[in-house]
Amino acid sequence: MNATSLHHHHHHHYHHLLPSKPPPPFTKLTSLKTTPPSSSSSSLTANPPPAAPLTEEKPTRHRPTATTTDDTEYTAFWDYQHLFMSQRSEAVEPVVLRVVEGAVPRDFPSGTYYLAGPGLFSDDHGSTVHPLDGHGYLRSFSIDGGAGEVRFKARYVETEAQAEERDAETGRWRFTHRGPFSVLKGGRRVGNVKVMKNVANTSVLCWGGRLLCMWEGGDPYEIDPRSLATRGRFDIIPGDADEATSSGPPFHGWLDAVDVAALFLKPVLHGVFKMPEKRILSHYKIDEKRGRLLIMSCRAEDMLLPRSNFTFYELDSDFKLLQKRDFTIPDHLMIHDWAFTDNHYILVGNRIKLDIPGYDWKSGKLDPAFMNAVKGEESLLPHLFQISIKMDKKGKCQDCSITASEQWKKPSDFPAINPSFSGTKNSHIYVATTSRFRKHLPHFPFDSVVKLDSNLDKPVAIWSAGYRQFIGEPVFVPKGVEEDDGYVLVVEYAISVQRCYLVILDARRIGRDDAVVAKLEVPKHLNFPLGFHGFWAANN
C-alpha cells in the first residue's frame, strides 16, 4: 500500500487498523506499498490547441543513459508539459494498433484493459485547469490473444460537468470552475455556489457486469463496456444501506463543539454548495476469494472539521450490500489508498496541509520542479514503505512499525500485484519508478517498472522504457496459477516522437533484455495524456 501519493505532499503519517469483523486469532500482517490515421475517430472541436515545440528523434529500445546531449532544462520543461496536452479527438470505432515490436502472445488471456484519466485541460477561451481536474477520458485496449491483435477506443465521459462546460451544438468548451480542484467558479471566490466538479477521471472498475468511472469524492459514472458511451451516474451505495449497519468501535475524548459545527455545516454544504452527503472515494478493493467489492466513503463536512468519518461497504456481484461499517477518527486525515485482510481494513492516514504547488492555473503551465525535489527534499516524494502490524488474540494492536523500503529507495508509486492475491499474502509487487538517469527530470515522470520480491535474497529486477519515454501505472494480467505467471501491461508515453504505446511485459522476464513481449503503437492523432488508474477485465 502506498504511504505517499503522487497527488499531494504528506507531512505526518498516522496508521489506523479498523476491524471489518470480530478480531481473529493472533495475526502478523506485513504489507509493502506504495496504423495510419483512422477515419473512425471523432473530434470534440475543430480547432485543437497547437502543440509546443518538440525535438524529433527515433525511439530507443535501450535503457536510458546519462550522456544524452539534449537533456536540457528547456527539453525537460516541454516534455513535462506534453504529458498533459489535451486530446480532443475520440476513437469511437475500434482502431487496430500497429505492432512495432514483438507480437501479442497467443496465450495472452483475452480481455480489455481500461485506463481512466484526464483528457482536456484547456478550453476555447484561454482558461486552463489543473491536471487533476481534466475532464474524464476513458481509453480501452481490447486484447485478442488468439488473433494476436489489440483494438483501441477512447471516449470522453459525458458527465454533468461536461454538460455545463461544453456547448453541445458547437462543441466548444468554456471552463466555469478553475483553480486547484476547480473550486473557483469563474475564477472568483465570491458567488461560487458549487465546490468542485465530478469529472470521473481517476479510476475505472468492472464489477457485476457494469463498467464504472470513478472520481475522488463523487458518484461513479456508468459506461457501456463495448461502445464506451456514457449511461449516466450510478448510485453505487445501496438504498437500504442502513439495514446492514454494524458500527465500529467509537473514539472518545473529543469536543461536542465538533458535532455542533457539523450540524451547521451539513445544510450549507448540501443545500448551498450542492455537495453529496457522502463522498465515494475512487480507490476500491476487490476480494476475489469471497467475491466482494469493497468501497469506501467519507462525509462532506469532514473537509472542514478536525475529524474523519469513514464508511466501508462490501457488495456482492449484484451490488447487494453484504456489510456496512462506520468509523470515526478524531483527526483531519487524507486517505489516498487503503488495504484489507479477512478481518480488518487498513488505512494509511495523512495529516496534511493541502497545497497544490507546481501549477499556475492562470498561465496553465506545470513546474517540473514540483515532483523533482532538490537534494535534501527527496523525502517529500512518493516512496515505498513497509508496514508491519502485530495484534493480540483480541484484535488489539501490540506493535506497528512503518519503515522505508530497504529494497527500493528511489521515488515510486502505482504499486500493482496479481489481483488474485489481493487481501492475502503475496510475494511480488510491480511498481512505477524512475531510472534517475535524467538530470533535469530525475524523479518524475516515471520511466521504469521495478519488480520486487518479498524474498530479500532475490535481486531487484527493473525494465526501463528509454530516454524521454515515460510510463504510467503497471497492471498485472494473470495467466497461470503461480503468482508471477502472467503479463504486465503499461502505457509508454514517448514524448520525443509524440506517440503512446501499449507495452506487454513478461512478468518473469523483467530485468532481462527480452522482457518486452510486444509493443503496439497508438496512431499519432490519438496520442493521449498521462492516465491515472486502470483495470484489467478478462473475458468470461
Phi, psi dihedral angles at 218 (to 5 degrees): -165, 175
Give the residue numbers of the binding site: 336, 533
CA distances from 470 to 342, 498, 530 (A): 37, 11, 9
CA-wise closest residue to 489 among 460, 523, 517, 453: 517
- Sequence-ordered alpha helix ranges (H) in 65-159: 73-82
List the end-to-end C-alpha distance of the chain, in Å, as a whole number: 29
Instruction: Read off the C-alpha cell for 367.
Output: 513546474
Cβ atoms of 367 and 354 within 8 Å: the answer is: no
Please say whether the dihedral angle defined by the alpha carbons of residues 258, 262, 268 and 270, taken in this order, is positive or negative.
positive
Side chain identity, residue 155: R
Binding residues for Fe cation, as ranges, are 336, 533
Helices (H) and strands (E) in the chain, counts: 3, 36
CA distance 198 to 178: 13
- The strand pair at 292-299 and 278-280 is best described as antiparallel
- Between the alpha carbon of residue 351 and those of residues 121, 151, 167, 389, the distances in Å are 29, 43, 40, 20
Residue 82 C-alpha cell reads as 506534453
Q: Would you list the DSSP string of 257-292?
A: HHHHHHHHHHHIIIIIS---SEEEPS--EEETTTTE
Contacts of 489-494 with C-beta under 8 Å, sequence gap 24+, read 489/113, 489/141, 489/534, 489/536, 490/432, 490/449, 491/115, 491/531, 492/465, 492/519, 493/83, 493/445, 493/469, 493/530, 494/59, 494/465, 494/466, 494/468, 494/469
- Whether 122 and 49 have beta carbons less than 8 Å apart is answered as yes
- For residue 487, how many C-alpha atoms fall within 13 Å in the half-sphere facing its CB? 25
Q: Is 28 exposed, middle or buried (0-12, 13-18, 19+ CB in 10 A)?
A: exposed
Query: Cell numbers at residue 69, please?
Result: 546531449
The x, y and z cell numbers of residue 167, run together, are: 456547448
8 A C-beta contact, residue 174 and residue 167? yes
CB count, 10 Å around CB of 333?
21
